[in-house]
Amino acid sequence: MKKAIFSLLAIFFAFSLFTQEPEWTLYATANKVNCQVIQDSINWIGTDIALIRYNIETNDYIAFNSYNSVLPGNYIWSLAKQNNGTIWIGTKYGLAKYDGSQWTIFTITNSNLPNNWIPSIAIAPNGTVWIGTAGGLVSIIDSVWTVYNTNNSNLTNDYIRNLAVDENNVVWIATWGGGLVTFDGEDWSVISSIPADNITEVEIDNEGRKWVGTNIGCFCLSDTSLADSIVVNNLVVYNMSNSSLPSDDVFAFAFDDNNGTWIGTLEGLAYLYNGNWTVYSTNNSSILFDDIYSLRLDNFGTLWCGGLGGLVNFNGEDWNEISVGTADIPTNWIEGIDTYGSEDVWVSTKKGICHFNGSDWSTYTSNNSNLLSDSATDIAIDSEGNVWVICRNISGGSSYAYGFAYFNGDEWIHYIAQNSQLPWNWTSDIIVDNLDRAWITCQHWLIKIENDDWVMYNLQDYGFNFTVLPTALSYDYANNIYIAIYNYDDNDFLLVKFDGENFEIVCDLIQDVILDIICDESGVIWLGTFNSGLVRFDGEVILFFDQTNSPLPSNYVLDIEIENHILWICNDGLVKMDDYEWAIFNHENSPLPSNYIRCVAIDDDGTKWIGTYRGLFAYNENLVVVHDEFQVEENAPRLIHNYPNPFNPTTTISYQLTADSDVDLKIYNVKGQLGETLVNEFKPSGKHSIVWNAEKQASGIYFYKLKAGDFEEIRKMILLK
């Protein structure tokens, strides 16, 4: 045991010192599946949050995204496979190629790509790689790139929606706005028999027929008759008027060994076999969604169906939900967040209230708890870890307030007007102050709950004789309560203070809706507004920070959190204000998938939990990692965290080089013994990745060390079997 410890310490002293590095972690579910490609027992799935490698036989999967790999984007638009096993991936920010161990990235800056948005990829029988972009068509033949567009060819539109290549290596090009076009390498042809300019999909079935999806139905180009169909000019037309097609918006096809055709639409799934139609929708089957964007059949004949709602498969009898993503949450649209201690996070959504304990997720809904509805907004946690939430109900597409709920660690209690002292169900905000008192706004009522005792304050009894619409609620360090009120009758906006006895208007000069209130230790009140930016109010002086006098990217401030004296502001991006020094985190300069930031909370470790409509992010500025002493140089290379970690049995190790260099990447066990050399060769500058397969290794802690020129760095990973 002493020898093992000594060896481990030797590694640390020889290679590294401790420093700090920020890290982003995404917690999200795949709400939308755009594309799939089946590779033996692996289904590669392109989703709105990641590229998923799903093992059909074991149901295990790995999510690749820009945080754990060199993928240029997380929204996967297109996929294709080569015979050698290489997968091509199209994103909105570039093209990727992955051969199982190495990634190669192509963008407009390092290749001949005319546009980074890649809606389609197809591989020809002769090996040509065809890339459909939002700026034209690209062919790659033996590493030679050729770009075709409306300026240098007979291509009818530069936005390529989809591609298919037939057995004669003719590429069929679905354009958005220019119809269907073919190209055999020399000649271009426009398929004028299809009466649609906006082509969504083109696929080739087992008989060589071309199936074309449009927004006016689907078409089959065929030299022979189909059952119960009339071929006119080699064209068969299917739409809602002449068939059982559930929608004229057709986005996907799949073909089985019986010459049956699966057709995905925006109103359900259709199966056409021998002239007979079978339709599957949420109204008549167990399929979970109707918007179908991707269909594939695996080697067992199982249909994999992706769309707006996730992924399901169908074995001919049963529909099975396939949950993929980086977190087991019901939706990526985050409404509210609060934390308890460190890595204990509660999240409110429109589809349930979610809890993350640092390793596992659980979701509470009306189906598995005493909650009377699934939707929730504001969330607060008291010192005992009890959870308070504002609830909403969704009916007929409309959302309306529905009381509040309380979780004591064992069960939920949902309070509404019909079962409690609530005057009505129109609740809007909830907080828990430093004395563990819960405060709830309910139109012109302010409610205090302390030790199960309710105290009701009717603002109309205190001179507020108008229609009161509360818009925000907070407290200061003296436990005074602050309420932002919209006077509906006079179109006036008020900031009101309640000291436990009296209500006082402390500010009526902010003529805008106040969306959030937070008080700092010095007594300064910070306000987020709908269109007036960030407001600082010290009781006397009002200061406005907006687009005209600050770096704020927007005047819409939805949520504010304070960490010591630092403000974290939900704006058009996440804004950090430290003593009037500003930093902006957005989609362009950080892993954030969108600039719409809904809410933020900070746990005891300083991790920022960020709610977006594309998932929950944890941003840790102070993550302790093992670094080489040369890492202090700004332009030094970088060894990226492996993913997944812990892992079994494979994990991807990525690294970045700022210059061409000899690279040595080795694996060590916990005793400091060399286990494997992964890379020992010259590498060009840029990002690189390699997969380590630890199938023959024992469970435990391993270290991976990168040496590139004078640079060295080591990181830790855990193998769990």
Q: How confident is residue 622, by pLDDT bands cut at 50, 70 and 90?
A: low
pLDDT digits (tens, 9 = 90+) for 316-357: 999 999 989 888 899 999 999 999 998 799 999 999 999 999
- C-alpha 164 chain-centroid distance: 29
Say what the pLDDT of residue 522 is: 92
Mean pLDDT of 455-466: 96
Say what the pLDDT of residue 210 is: 95
pLDDT digits (tens, 9 = 90+) for 505-564: 999 999 999 999 999 999 999 999 999 999 999 999 999 999 999 999 999 999 999 998
Tokens 């002239």 belong to which residue?
A: 275
pLDDT digits (tens, 9 = 90+) for 384-431: 999 999 999 987 667 788 999 999 999 999 999 999 999 999 999 999
Residue extents of the structural domains in the chain: 2-16+644-719
pLDDT digits (tens, 9 = 90+) for 120-175: 999 999 999 999 999 999 999 999 999 999 999 999 999 999 999 999 999 999 99
Quote the strand ranges of 564-710, DSSP E: 566-571, 573-578, 581-585, 597-602, 608-612, 615-627, 638-643, 650-657, 661-669, 674-683, 686-693, 700-708
State percent of the chain over pLDDT 90. Answer: 74
Say what the pLDDT of residue 629 is: 35
Say what the pLDDT of residue 17 is: 32
Q: Nearest to residue 394, comparing CAs of 419, 372, 416?
A: 372
Q: Nearest to residue 491, comparing CAs of 473, 469, 507, 506?
A: 469
The residues, any chain, with a CB within 8 Å of residue 386's CB and separated by 6 or more, are 406, 407, 408, 409
457 has pLDDT over 60: yes
Q: How confident is residue 713, by pLDDT bands cut at 50, 70 and 90?
A: confident
CATH code given to domain 2-16+644-719: 2.60.40.2550
* DSSP state at residue 679: E
720 has pLDDT over 50: yes
Secondary structure (3-state) at 168: coil
Average pLDDT, the chain: 90
Write out the two tokens for 436. Answer: 């563990």
Residues in the chain: 721
User: What count of Cα atoms within 13 Å lies in the side-chain half-sphere of residue 468?
Assistant: 26
Q: Nearest to residue 191, comparing CAs of 206, 208, 175, 207?
A: 175
Mean pLDDT of 472-488: 96
